[in-house]
Amino acid sequence: MDTEILTVDNMGFRYAGTPVLRGISLRVEAASTVAVTGANGSGKSTLLHLLAGVEEPAEGSIRRRTGCRLALLPQRTSGIDALPLTVAECVRIGRFRPRRRLNRDDRAAVSTIMERLDLAHLARRRLRELSGGQRQRTLVAQALVQVADVYVLDEPTVALDATSRRHVHDLLAERVRAGAAVVYASHDAADATLADRTVRLAGVQGCTVTDAAGERGGNGTTVVRPVTRAPRLRTGG
């Protein structure tokens, strides 16, 4: 049985003609976790946007398994604060589908994820009234309440305390045990150690993909060629 959900072959990307990523090949399998690490500006957010289909590669390809369902937690979500949404309304967005009303299962899923992330008591609070950690938990809940084959998460534990981080890790582990893949960016070395595979981006120095056993350039891993000149990024990460 083919377990690959996302297949990236020799992928490259440019902003305004400037190379940002090049020569990336990666396999994302069901029931696995992939951590994307690297310094600010190394292309983490760009890689996640490519995987999620927000951006299209300039070269190479990304193939998604037929019927693949993706859930995305972007890093830059400041615009959502301008919307007059409550916490509960924001989380419910994750269950919306075209031409379908929320049903009992949807409402139960929303209630459960809000309890798990300690948001139930904030259900009627407006997003603009939240602290940074409360807002981040709300956005994580919106992503994880979705039924997806791949969860693509940009810095899911940023601004969270130790307890909230543990709750997020538990929820991610449950999604993986249920057969989903989780791809997440992180600056935290401890977060990266939880993954089955780590993609370390290093800007013009290229990157490596390393499996959980620490093998580099071996089975299931690849060394990615560096770009030839410094990129000018539009987004952080």
Question: What confidence tens digit (pLDDT) does each residue in 12-47 have?
Answer: 899 888 888 888 888 999 999 999 998 888 889 999
Question: What confidence tens digit (pLDDT) does each residue in 177-229 have?
Answer: 999 999 999 988 888 889 999 998 865 555 688 887 555 443 344 444 433 33
Please count the structural domains in the chain.
1
Does 123 fall in a domain?
no
Q: What is the rounded radius of gyration, in angstroms, for the C-alpha atoms of the chain?
A: 18
Question: What confidence tens digit (pLDDT) does each residue in 68-118 have?
Answer: 999 999 987 667 777 899 999 999 999 998 888 999 999 999 999 999 999
Does 169 fall in a domain?
no
Could you tell me the CATH number of the domain that includes residue 207? Answer: 3.40.50.300
Structure tokens at 30: 């069901």
HEC sequence for 129-187: HCCHHHHHHHHHHHHHCCCCCEEEEECCCCCCCHHHHHHHHHHHHHHHHCCCEEEEECC
Does 234 fall in a domain?
no
Confidence at residue 167, expressed as pLDDT on a 0 to 100 scale: 98
Separation between Cα atoms, residue 191 and residue 210, nearest integer Å: 15
Does 118 fall in a domain?
no
Sheet holding 181-185, edge to edge: 70-73, 150-154, 181-185, 33-37, 197-201, 207-211, 223-224
Does 173 fall in a domain?
no
Does 208 fall in a domain?
yes
Does 198 fall in a domain?
yes
Does 221 fall in a domain?
yes
Give me the domain span that covers residue 60.
1-69+186-228
Query: Buried b vs exposed e over 48-63: b needs ≥16 C-beta within 10 Å?
Result: bbbbbeebebbebebe
Separation between Cα atoms, residue 79 and residue 62, nearest integer Å: 28
